[in-house]
Amino acid sequence: MRLADGRRLAFTVTGPPDGTPVIYCHGAIGTPVTATVDLELITRELGVRYIAPSRPGVGGSDPLPGRTLKDFAADAAQLADRLELERFAVAGVSAGGPYALALAHELGDRVGRVAVCSSLSPLCPPHRTPGLQWRIRAALGLLVKAPRACAAVGDAVLPVVARHPELLSHVIAAGAAPQERGRLQSAGERAAASTSFLDAAAPGVGGLIEDFLVYSSEWGFAAAEVANEVHLWHGVADLLVPVEHALQLAVSLPNCRVFFDADEGHHFFRSSLGRILAVLVGRAADPGDGVETTIAGARAAARRHAAASSSASGGRSTS
């Protein structure tokens, strides 16, 4: 669609046309709905109309230099107008979490419930997160220090990834929790990862890098100002967005329900999409077995995970 300023906003939709509308804020490498495993089945069973816009500079959406988190809320409002949505829920995963909260903050009562999974927080920039593995911290820090050089290298590598998509799967698996790696090596998940990345990077990786710089900067609002009901889902074993981010959000959001899984990592959203959406749109009240629903329980699970990780590494810190 064309936005008011003439930019194009690309989006994909699945699920019944009369289903409960959910606007999805994708992660760092984008997620067109056609690439999400089992999404069509899940949305049909739950009666959810799942709407996934690509942020500026990502996929088929035109760039918006100098944009902020709040700017995307304005784009989403225009999309909702175009689709004649009076009110809708919002879901955001990983890098999309701050954008989902920005939609709630900016659009107020037009947004019902919000679900954020494996989300960043205003705790600190991603590359300075306590406990983040040094190799991940170094790579993210390089994006901040030399974004243009990183974009040039990334664009040069894109043809290689297109010819050998399994390389991306190996990179994703390396940052996954041990119990997630087998699941991520399935044919469907490998295809989803490569399709998502190549679609998002079609205009070049510069848009993805700019997106990283946006959500790594000041949000422009405080989490405490988000009055909407927020469902906070996080895997305690997350290596890419450590659980400290989720705990920071949990104590900051005034109307928050928490769902922490001690065994899941950064790909919690993919493994639990059905139950996340079911709770979000009111099709289920209980998140299921193995999920902590209190901050105290989440902190205890985080301590157990940290102790187990320290023991497995011989007492050496991974930070």
pLDDT digits (tens, 9 = 90+) for 11-41: 999 999 999 999 999 999 887 666 577 889 9
Instruction: Give domain status of residue 143, yes or no.
Output: yes
More confident position, 155 or 270: 155
Q: Which of 35-49, 126-140, 176-190 has the lowest mean pLDDT?
A: 176-190
Structural domain including 129 reads 11-312
The pLDDT of residue 150 is 95
Q: d(Cα 7, Cα 57) in Å, to the nearest integer?
A: 10
Which of the residue ranges 73-87, 134-148, 256-270 has the most confident prediction, judged by mean pLDDT? 73-87
Q: Say if residues 273 and 38 touch (Cβ distance below 8 Å).
A: yes
Instruction: Give domain status of residue 220, yes or no.
Output: yes
Return the structure tokens found at 43.
Answer: 């949305």
Instruction: Give domain status of residue 319, yes or no.
Output: no
Instruction: Give domain status of residue 6, yes or no.
Output: no
The pLDDT of residue 32 is 66
Residue 192 has pLDDT above 80, yes or no: no
The pLDDT of residue 197 is 87
Q: d(Cα 208, Cα 138) in Å, to the nearest integer?
A: 17
Return the structure tokens found at 165.
Answer: 């998509």
Q: d(Cα 119, Cα 161) in Å, to the nearest integer?
A: 26
Q: Say if residues 113 and 284 touch (Cβ distance below 8 Å).
A: no
Q: d(Cα 235, Cα 314) in Å, to the nearest integer?
A: 23
Number of domains in the chain: 1
Instruction: Give domain status of residue 269, yes or no.
Output: yes
Q: d(Cα 140, Cα 129) in Å, to the nearest integer?
A: 11
User: The domain that contains 105 carries what CATH number?
Assistant: 3.40.50.1820
Which whole number is the average pLDDT over 171-195?
Answer: 74
Instruction: Measure the CA dihedral 235/239/243/244, to 10°.
Output: -170
Instruction: Give domain status of residue 306, yes or no.
Output: yes
Q: How confident is the model at residue 319 (pLDDT cuts 50, 70, 90)?
A: very low
Instruction: Give domain status of residue 96, yes or no.
Output: yes
Q: Which helix (H) or strand (E) holds 154?
A: helix 147-163
Instruction: Give domain status of residue 318, yes or no.
Output: no
The pLDDT of residue 317 is 44
